[in-house]
Structure 1
């Protein structure tokens, strides 16, 4: 059983629970007030004039320590994790977005958050064809080792999660509640299965209920974790289109499956295609656009465990790399190694199948998981 005795984490959680705080303002407060312990113990005595608002002063006078204790008690379970933005398991791709969550609550396997992911989103009330498409695409992607990410909602989301659980890629569900709550309740069983072969993820503390305004915030994490977002059946004003717009803002690829002009659930996908989303007819359309088709198609359906023949330098170099293109200069900078060391190790890792040469550099393969 884990024990969280980190005072810094305790004060970070207290700040995260402060009314009116969000991802961007959280970072600004950390920059302004480096010593959060003093900030809380002094009840905000050192607050700058612009931050001295009645609600803020009231909270600093009586922080939600009971809520923080619930967060920390929840995290004592071996399957429960709290990742700050500085944690080694915090996903690099999510870190890139402008409003990245400063704290993630994870139930399951946090390593999945750094695996290459495809988001599948769509209608909560899809047609039979839409549900079948979500199942087919999720099955194909996860069979190649890609992790399918979605929001645990009814319809397309749960169809994608269910199909992905049957393969090696697994699945991640990003939710808009605290992780002590499953919403909707009828997904309790599949939530358990996701914990065993993936992860449940939330930025919201323990006890937070499913409120309408929290779902758009949840959606930016779905797209932020993923290399691309595939939309299957979405009305013009659906949450799936919010996810797609956020994906574009995050410089992610957006894919949409067209449908009948008479189907209202196709109008959202058609609008996305008009705005530049990639029209998708088969899974390969997605993989080719992401420039990973050859890598994944060449990988075995059931990847074997990587051999234990890497030395410490090779292992460290792999940890410095992402699944997308890494230039040699960026690898040298991250690993603090000499260029000749890096080029030699890259050749060895490519021969072993851990990396693949791509235009402009090298990318990790699934064998590096």
Structure 2
């Protein structure tokens, strides 16, 4: 190996252990507890290591490095030298203290962004990749309120609920941490490139995977274990019966973390996972305050900044760079004139004719289909639907009536609407 300064020699030893095939973090922790730093492990006889962690761990720890090890070490050192990048080893004071309570903390963490966010009060918000518009709104609102209260929001950078959780977390002082299942030099999914850049500046991105590791299905349950380890509690917003979020909840429960779930309609597939874990003992929550209270996190004394001050700057920056459009919702600009909705014929724009459709079961036009797609199984107000679709009132009312007559939508008291249970 080429000559290296002392700190890089230590990093080389940590990297060698973290890359050793078949050396599990729990076994490595036993060896480190017995012998101290990695260099000391390499000085031991195989029998000494085997007596502490078993023969398989001894073989793995003392296995010679691969021919590409020097190149990989150079890449890690170069990555660490880039602004905002950190490599934190298990013996480093910067190592997240919450992860040290796990039985198998990773030996090496690759972190982009603010290290201090890994030493704060934190709550995970996770859920379905194929979230409903209502789920996305709920996740972003819960995350925003938790972050405003000074709590760091942790999630996994996936599409759907995770992305909404990160965007909400960026809107408050608590910030957000993305725990990813690839190398820290990659972004997955590609649609979250802009969001990841913003998190790397205003929050933190954390990975235990070697640089260059692509997205593999097997990595994500392991990623979920780190999400669970970093936090005091996990909030599940939407989850199907076989959801990765339920793996996170199970792992968190095993580590003694609190589990919360938002309930939903009995007809909604993405409520079933939430209802299942509520039956198994998760706490049903309807507001962010319930999460804060249950975890004993007092709200910060500082009031929320007024919209005209820093909060507006942060929100507008967040929305203008990558904003809510990434979640699938359209960005509405409160100070501009409403965007005219594409008309589906004169009757759509004319309130006088809106109440008298030509036939009792008209075929659905594309705009009505688009409106139906934004409706979840939870009661939704006209205001929320107008924001989601950017339709003018007359067009919105007309399409809602069309959907109601087609049996796709149910009108509820109080001017609320929801998707019909069979629709």
Q: TM-score, normalised by structure 2?
A: 0.65
Cα distance in 1 between the residues matched to 2:283 and 2:207: 29
1:15 maps onto 2:20 in alignment: no
Counterpart contact for 1:145–1:167, Cα < 8 Å: yes
Q: How many angstroms does 1:54 deviate by?
A: 7.8
Q: What is the RMSD of the two structures over their aligned residues, measured on CA atoms?
A: 2.6
**SS of 2:11's equivalent?**
helix
Cα distance in 2 between the residues matched to 1:113 and 1:281: 27
Q: How many angstroms does 1:62 deviate by?
A: 4.9
Q: How many angstroms does 1:93 deviate by?
A: 1.4
2:301: which partner in 1? Answer: 298
CA offsets per residue over residues 155-181 of structure 1, 9 Å max, x none? 000011112212222110000111110
Q: How many angstroms does 1:58 deviate by?
A: 5.5
Correspondent of 1:25 among 24, 27, 48? 27
Cα distance in 1 between the residues matched to 2:147 and 2:63: 49
2:205: which partner in 1? Answer: 200
**SS of 1:5's equivalent?**
helix
Q: 5 Å matches for 1:1-369?
A: 5-31=7-33, 36-37=38-39, 48=50, 50-51=55-56, 59-60=64-65, 62=67, 64-292=69-297, 295-301=298-304
CA, structure 1 residues 45+191, in 2 after alignment: closer, same or farther (shift >3 Å)? Answer: same
**SS of 1:86's equivalent?**
coil
Counterpart contact for 1:4–1:76, Cα < 8 Å: no
CA, structure 1 residues 60+52, in 2 after alignment: closer, same or farther (shift >3 Å)? Answer: farther
Counterpart contact for 2:124–2:227, Cα < 8 Å: yes
**SS of 1:104's equivalent?**
strand
CA, structure 1 residues 82+279, in 2 after alignment: closer, same or farther (shift >3 Å)? Answer: same
Cα distance in 2 between the residues matched to 1:24 and 1:36: 14
Counterpart contact for 2:182–2:215, Cα < 8 Å: yes
Cα distance in 1 between the residues matched to 2:199 and 2:33: 36
**SS of 2:124's equivalent?**
strand
**SS of 1:123's equivalent?**
coil
Cα distance in 1 between the residues matched to 2:300 and 2:35: 49
Counterpart contact for 2:156–2:224, Cα < 8 Å: yes
Cα distance in 2 between the residues matched to 1:252 and 1:54: 34
**SS of 1:77's equivalent?**
coil
2:329: which partner in 1? Answer: none
CA offsets per residue over residues 299-352 of structure 1, 9 Å max, x none? 4335xxxxxxxxxxxxxxxxxxxxxxxxxxxxxxxxxxxxxxxxxxxxxxxxxx
CA, structure 1 residues 56+97, in 2 after alignment: closer, same or farther (shift >3 Å)? Answer: closer
Counterpart contact for 2:180–2:206, Cα < 8 Å: yes
Q: Structure 1 regions of 5+ residues with no counterpart?
A: 303-369
Q: How many angstroms does 1:218 deviate by?
A: 0.5
Q: How many angstroms does 1:28 deviate by?
A: 3.1
Cα distance in 1 between the residues matched to 2:58 and 2:119: 38
Cα distance in 2 between the residues matched to 1:56 and 1:252: 32
105-114 or 15-24: bigger deviation: 15-24
Cα distance in 2 between the residues matched to 1:169 and 1:36: 35
Cα distance in 1 between the residues matched to 2:40 and 2:124: 41
Cα distance in 2 between the residues matched to 1:38 and 1:281: 52
Q: Structure 2 regions of 5+ residues with no counterpart?
A: 306-423
Q: How many angstroms does 1:102 deviate by?
A: 2.0
- Name the larger-Rg structure: 2
**SS of 1:245's equivalent?**
helix
Q: How many angstroms does 1:42 deviate by?
A: 9.9
2:343: which partner in 1? Answer: none
Counterpart contact for 1:39–1:45, Cα < 8 Å: no
1:367: which partner in 2? Answer: none
**SS of 2:171's equivalent?**
coil
